[in-house]
Structure 1
């Protein structure tokens, strides 16, 4: 099982003023997320048994939702040059798109804790899927830039609902670290596929680049349908007709909210949040602006450079599949520090060696090393929101600076973010791991 946050022990430690590592091994008795009941202890070999078909379908639905999110997010870097031309805007206006996405996540942060009082898990996932579907419908006909920006708010809100609740669901199953690796690898796979589709469409029809959004539109339709099928047993609005369930659910959420309020007072939660603030800032900033950088600074061909983000995202996808086991076995604290140091070296080569081929290779390998970061640790809504703040602020900063100094500022800013990421991770307490030497 993956190492998850143990709320009860965190609160106990906080009350006793004890500095406790923020991640603990889960209870020996797994929890049935469908019924909220603790199951009896089972032999170790039970971990290897196959999952029930119903739960497997839910896990596949969760994985596909991350693929849809990746397909959306991975397209921006390839399409930014076309957006600048079509809307006749400066790079600073792109910051509005990132800000709108963050506002969606920010709004979700204030409602995520209360929404389960009124909606079942399936209903919450369906709401998130519907919002994402609506955003793609509005984009496909090249709306005015103001409306175009609003669609990013809808996407952010929809992803915040669906992905955060799906992530929490996946973190409760047997061998969760493998399934978390799977769903986050699906996000990386979506990131990988998206630039290929976006560049192929925009490159052949530069004036109709918005037709790309028919692709995530189709995915969003399938995403909503899969959620409704897999989670139909919890697609409900909690009413007086289900009073007993409502009282139980309300009691759980009230207790959970009290626990969260105590947890956010603990400094290590904020350190971890700050780490992901910089980490997601690295990936989103690099992936979002690399095409514009290679075209404007390295004088690459736009039709070819549009595929470059796929190298980073492909590496990200492979990293989440291949590195999840060694990262878990040798310890997240040790391995993520190693990945951070190597990534800094790769980014320096990206910056200082003016060769497009080496730039693309360094960029792709850095994506591979960044792969296991997100899946290894994120399972708290606060961290999701702070991470999304980094995903919005730093790409926006690049856009604002690029309007005056040019996009050449990308490599040093990304290098600084990697340094900040590594430093904050060094302050996260080291967690004992039974697999470590």
Structure 2
């Protein structure tokens, strides 16, 4: 439950910027595309801290890393609420990104290694709980139509984060007790580890992750997955306001339903994994997301955009956790830990580069390109994933 709580903390800030930007950029007198720059700074900080996660977790442990991460994000959100100008938003975006990477990588690796596929889906379901609550909270404040009301939304979420900080710090003795308990049972794992060493004994020395067959195709799939997820979350509100004519508060509520689709889908996926394998769930999710993106592309009334976002969210739900959990199956336990790190780094790279690219293109054309951009990214994800499946089937 503490791990799930930590993932709620990770999800809360992720969707705030996209939900609030239609009001924020006018209040800050900033260009529309600046949201992509801020998002890129946050994602870059997450990449840096995730790459350093191994050393951080080894020295401080998962419990302390989660608590300190929550402190950093809570402080950054508080800073957002008080920022007098755009440059302050840029500065506070740095700790907002740094706060998420180490604990994200650490918890994902822990769950992938020690738990079944359903637990990975449920873990990311709780990220969706946080990501859904963020726009809902922001919508309740910006509905007042005051130009500075988005600040109260950030302040409210910062308050929730500080409550989570208290809970996580109070739980530190529990994390230590569990760690000691795991050490006492480590002897029982010796036989399994010896078998794994014997299995790898025939390997000719260490292999670089990028030289493992199929890894590059998997990395590109991760990049386009995060492109779709983050682009929809960041630019969905701006598209609904600028093209479909919705109010900023209604658009934020609709985007929260997109995250609700991801959350509900991952909750259901956890149970479906009892009967259906990861590969089938990934393929089904990608096809569903592509159908939702196609619905957004069609020139239909605004209500169909709501349905399209929900369908995209439902489709995305199983993809990321199932791809992470499938890593040892695809590439073997020997290579899985290092490949997992590469996959997450490339995933964050997709979050860093692809949404700002849409912002750049929209600033030179119109935000109306959002549905086509989303559909192309979804199609690319499906294409590379199926190429990987075909390649591994032949290997």
Is TM-score (shorter-chain normalized) higher than 0.5? yes
Is 2:44 the partner of 1:103? yes
Aligned residues: 352
What residue in structure 1 maps to residue 331 of structure 2?
Answer: none
Q: C-alpha deviations, 1:403-423, integer Å up to 9, x for none? A: 120101101110000011001
Helix, strand or coil at the partner of 2:208: helix
Gaps of 5+ in 2: 178-192, 198-204, 326-339
Q: Residue 97 of structure 2 aligns with which residue?
A: 156
Q: Secondary structure at the match of 2:275?
A: helix
- Give the distance between the partners of 1:168 and 1:276, measured in 2 at CA: 16
Match of 1:93 among 9, 12, 34: 34
Q: Aligned-pair distance for 1:261? A: 6.9
TM-score (norm 1): 0.75
Q: Give the C-alpha shift of residue 275 in structure 1.
A: 0.8
Residue of 110, 122, 125 corresponding to 1:182: 122
Cα shift readout 1:73-124 (whole Å, capped 9, x = no counterpart): 1222221111210111112222211111122122124322322443233232
The separation in 2 between residues aligned to 1:133 and 1:300, in whole angstroms, is 30
Which of 206-215 and 304-313 deviates more?
A: 206-215
Distance 1:292 1:102 in 2: 20
Instruction: Tell me the residue number matched to 2:131.
Output: 191
Give me the whole-angstrom Cα distance separating, in 1, the residues matched to 2:132 and 2:66.
24
The alpha-carbon distance between structure 1 residues 122 and 303, as it changes in their structure 2 partners (threshold 3 A), is closer
Match of 2:366 among 406, 416, 420: 406
Q: Is the 8 A contact 1:129 1:162 kept in 2?
A: no
Structure 1 residue 217 displacement after superposition: 1.3
- Determine if the alignment matches structure 1 residue 343 to structure 2 residue 280: no
**RMSD across aligned positions (CA):** 2.5
Greater helix proportion: 2
Q: Equivalences for 1:28-427 in 2 at 5 Å?
A: 60-174=1-115, 176-204=116-144, 205-232=146-173, 262-327=208-273, 329-378=275-324, 380-427=340-387
Deviation at 1:226, TM superposition (A): 2.6
Quickly say closer, same or farther: Cα 1:142–1:418, change in 2 above 3 A. Answer: same
CA distance in 2, matches of 1:377, 1:351: 27
Distance 1:115 1:138 in 2: 25
Distance in structure 2 (CA, Å) of the matches to 1:305 and 1:126: 32
User: Hey, what's the Cα distance between the residues in 1 that align with 2:90 and 2:236?
Assistant: 21
| 3-state SS of 2:364 partner | helix
TM-score of the superposed pair, with normalisation by structure 2: 0.82
Question: For the residues of structure 2 that align with 1:267 and 1:156, how far apart are their CA atoms?
Answer: 32
Conserved 8 A contact 1:297-1:407 = yes
Q: CA deviation at 1:67?
A: 1.1
Structure 1: runs of 5 or more not aligned: 1-59, 237-251, 433-437
